[in-house]
């Protein structure tokens, strides 16, 4: 523009152009220009120099005032620059921030304005605000003080302890934090579930019990009904006194049915076996001679009970009646034990055998000397009886202290063991015996002979009137023509109920069988 004005002034001052009329816009423009600039040929002013770049703002003292309007106390508070990977230290430390309170948190001298603020509530849930501009306003409010408080009374109507409890607005992803924390809710007990301030009414609740079973309540309207029950109060309670009549402590107690857990809602075990579920004793031990009150919910009166003793042995009571009001005694008679097995030693060594030791292959020591009557002389025989699986370890000791051992001897296949030079490596242990006749059964026992067409695979011997107990054969199979010397189990006595099952499905039932006859009895 100044260039145009200068050109017009020059033209007006030029010779021969006198009397030329100036444009209408020129006088106002000239009046607005400095006097020196209006003169033709005057030097034009120098444009101003460019402004220097602005310096960064000086660090300022920053603080955040965190207000809690969530309806629950805050147990953790984190403030970090926006976008930080690390959330920084917990600004509350050991303290908490009650609902309705505010906390002033100094952040020191900062050039930054934007911060991420995260809080963790007392129930484990978390809230976060990202990119908060603390330069514009230092107050950060979590929650809406106008929203109503949401609470619920949770009732445990099961016979299990409630271990975990989850609650989230319906449709929210996941089930959120465990609202119980380290607490549990005992059977028939209640707990107060505080959800803080929320406008939602519909919530999904999930309960996890001590046996890991899960129960859910979907879309519960806590605005209409703030009481939520888990379990079925219609299932009746069953009670029984469990008595320990053994000399060992009961460490675990289980109750179940062939269809699953005690109330019939669980999954059945393999082959219809009870699904035992959780330990009903918990940390309690039932010492010898004491009792324990078992209380549980069950639709049925008859349940299968199982106890585990402190020596790892177990005993079961199938079909125990919890509605009879009588004490249920565990006396050790139902502990599955290997049957008594007998084998004969024949000494064909040149020297007497002073001691004999026989023990199960998984035993940690040899046990007692099996020759309590004295040395086994050359050519003499001795019967050894022990409760064991078929395979045993055998050790013989001579008078000079020398010893011979053989591991994994199968006394179910070999009832005669000839002790002779090289017997520990021999393929057959009954060679070199000569003629050997089997003696009569031991006094107070009975010899069972399998006279049937198929192997005998299961043998049950129980007290008269008692339910069927454990299989007394265990892993043993009594082949055709084979015999087994059998002594009456503890707490059964000389008269017992004998049941034998053969591989072809045939069964033999002898309700009042003499177990102490000292004779041989053919089955079937």
Provide the residue-wise pLDDT of the chain in tens; the chain has 524 residues.
Answer: 454 545 544 444 555 444 444 555 445 444 545 544 455 555 555 555 555 555 556 688 899 999 999 999 999 999 999 999 998 999 999 999 999 999 999 999 988 999 999 999 988 889 999 999 999 999 999 999 999 999 999 999 999 999 999 999 998 888 889 999 889 999 999 999 999 999 999 999 999 999 889 999 999 999 999 999 999 999 999 999 999 999 899 999 999 875 555 654 443 443 444 568 789 998 899 999 999 999 999 999 999 999 999 988 899 999 899 998 889 999 988 887 777 788 889 998 888 999 999 998 888 889 899 998 889 988 888 889 888 888 999 999 998 889 999 999 999 888 899 999 999 999 889 887 765 455 677 778 899 999 988 889 899 999 998 888 888 887 777 888 888 888 888 778 899 999 999 988 899 999 999 999 889 999 99
Q: Find out whether 481 and 450 touch, Cβ atoms under 8 Å.
A: yes
Output the pLDDT for position 379: 84
DSSP string, 213-244: -EEEEEEEETTT--EEEES-TTSPEEEEEEEE
Architecture of domain 237-257+276-330: Sandwich (2.60)
Per CATH, the architecture of 61-142 is what?
A: Sandwich (2.60)
Please give the CATH architecture assigned to the domain spanning 149-230: Sandwich (2.60)
Domain 340-425, CATH number (from 2.60.40, 1.10.10, 3.30.1360, 3.30.750): 2.60.40
Domain positions in the chain are 61-142, 149-230, 237-257+276-330, 340-425, 446-522
The vertex-433 CA angle with 431 and 439, nearest 5°, equals 125
Q: What is the dihedral of CA 31, 32, 35, 37, to 10 degrees?
A: -120
Which pLDDT value is given to residue 378? 86
Would you call the peptide bond into 524 cis, given omega within 30 degrees of 0 as the criterion? yes
pTM: 0.55
Q: Are 61-142 and 340-425 the same fold in CATH?
A: yes
């Amino acid at each position: 523009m100044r260039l145009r004005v200068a050109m017009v002034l020059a033209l007006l001052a030029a010779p021969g152009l006198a009397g030329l009329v100036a444009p209408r816009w020129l006088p106002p423009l000239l009046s607005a220009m400095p006097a020196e600039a209006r003169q033709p040929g005057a030097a034009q002013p120098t444009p101003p120099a460019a402004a220097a770049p602005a310096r960064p703002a000086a660090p300022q003292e920053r603080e955040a005032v965190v207000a809690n309007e969530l309806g629950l106390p805050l147990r953790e508070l984190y403030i970090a620059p926006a976008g930080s990977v690390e959330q920084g230290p917990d600004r509350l430390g050991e303290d908490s921030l009650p609902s309705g309170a505010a906390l002033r948190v100094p952040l020191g001298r900062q050039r930054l304005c934007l911060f991420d603020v995260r809080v963790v509530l007392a129930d484990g849930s978390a809230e976060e605000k990202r990119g908060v501009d603390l330069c514009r306003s230092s107050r950060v409010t979590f929650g809406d003080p106008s929203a109503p408080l949401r609470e619920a009374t949770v009732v445990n109507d099961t016979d299990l302890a409630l271990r975990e409890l989850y609650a989230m607005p319906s449709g929210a992803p996941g089930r959120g934090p465990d609202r119980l924390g380290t607490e549990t809710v005992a059977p028939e007990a209640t707990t107060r579930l505080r959800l803080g301030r929320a406008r939602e009414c519909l919530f999904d609740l999930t309960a996890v019990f001590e046996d890991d079973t899960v129960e859910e309540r979907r879309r519960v309207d806590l605005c209409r009904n703030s009481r939520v029950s888990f379990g079925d109060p219609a299932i009746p309670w069953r009670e029984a006194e469990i008595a320990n009549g053994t000399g060992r402590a009961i460490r675990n107690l289980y109750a179940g049915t062939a269809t699953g857990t005690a109330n019939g809602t669980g999954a059945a075990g393999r082959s219809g076996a009870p699904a035992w579920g959780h330990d009903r004793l918990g940390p309690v031990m039932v010492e010898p001679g004491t009792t324990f009150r078992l209380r549980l919910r069950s639709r049925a009166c008859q349940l299968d009970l199982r106890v585990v003793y402190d020596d790892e042995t177990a005993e079961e009571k199938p079909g125990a009646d919890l509605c009879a009001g009588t004490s249920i005694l565990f006396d050790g008679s139902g502990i599955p034990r290997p049957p008594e097995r007998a084998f004969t030693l024949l000494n064909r060594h040149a020297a007497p055998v002073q001691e004999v030791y026989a023990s199960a292959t998984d035993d940690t020591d040899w046990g007692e000397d099996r020759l309590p009557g004295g040395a086994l002389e050359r050519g003499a025989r001795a019967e050894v009886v022990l409760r064991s699986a078929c395979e045993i370890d055998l050790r013989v000791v001579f008078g000079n202290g020398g010893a011979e051992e053989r591991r994994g001897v199968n006394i179910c296949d070999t009832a005669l063991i000839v002790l002779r030079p090289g017997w520990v490596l021999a393929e057959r242990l009954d060679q070199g015996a000569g003629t050997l006749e089997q003696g009569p059964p031991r006094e107070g026992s009975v010899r069972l002979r399998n006279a049937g067409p198929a192997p005998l695979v299961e043998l049950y011997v129980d007290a008269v009137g008692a339910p069927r107990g454990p299989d007394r054969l265990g892993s043993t199979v009594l082949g055709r023509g084979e015999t087994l010397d059998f002594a009456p189990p503890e707490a059964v006595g000389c008269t017992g109920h004998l049941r034998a099952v053969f591989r072809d499905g045939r069964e033999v039932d002898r309700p009042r069988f003499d177990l102490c006859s000292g004779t041989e009895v053919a089955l079937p």
